[in-house]
């Protein structure tokens, strides 16, 4: 077990079983371990890296935005969020005219249930 693995074992809650390798970098659909061995990334960071690791277009966009404003709560209006919402509505099927942006899969599922109840008029049964 290498130093990185020992540190993670010492401090992590360990909800996921480990594969025994230490990933140190990625490019496109590949990742490399600390020994230089290349692997095809079949998890894509559970979807976060679906466009590939070290994607130059994504990195450039993140850098550009981070130099201006790294985050903006929904309590304030924001130019970039407004542009994204407008684009999403433009490319969505007719009738889908509102956008709900959220922070996690859990939050999106919870919202979907609430929106379904609201739009159907059905109340939650206990």
Is 63:54 a contact under the CB 8 Å cutoff?
no
Q: Into how many domains does the chain fold?
A: 2
Render pLDDT for 66-106 as a digit per residue (tens, 0 to 9). 999 999 888 899 999 999 999 999 999 999 999 999 888 89
**Statement to judge: residues 97 and 44 lie in one domain:** no
Is 50:58 a contact under the CB 8 Å cutoff?
no
**CA gap 93, 116 in Å, rounded:** 18
Where residue 126 falls among pLDDT bands split at 50, 70, 90?
low
Residue 46 has pLDDT above 80, yes or no: no
Residue 31: how many CB atoms within 10 A of its CB?
A: 22
Range of the domain at 99: 72-126
Q: Which of 92 and 49 is assigned the larger pLDDT? A: 92
Direct distance between the N- and C-terminal alpha carbons of the chain, in angstroms, rounded to an integer: 50
**Statement to judge: residues 58 and 77 lie in one domain:** no
């Amino acid at each position: 077990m290498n130093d990185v693995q020992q540190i993670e074992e010492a401090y992590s809650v360990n909800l996921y079983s480990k594969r025994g390798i230490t990933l140190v970098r990625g490019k496109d659909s590949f990742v490399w371990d600390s020994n230089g061995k290349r692997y095809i990334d079949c998890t894509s960071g559970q979807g976060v890296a679906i466009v590939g690791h070290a994607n130059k277009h994504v990195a450039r966009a993140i850098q550009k935005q981070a130099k201006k404003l790294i985050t903006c709560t929904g309590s304030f209006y924001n130019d970039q969020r407004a542009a994204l919402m407008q684009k999403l509505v433009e490319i969505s099927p007719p009738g889908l005219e509102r956008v709900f942006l959220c922070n996690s899969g859990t939050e999106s599922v919870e919202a979907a249930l609430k929106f379904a109840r609201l739009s159907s008029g059905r109340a939650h049964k206990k």
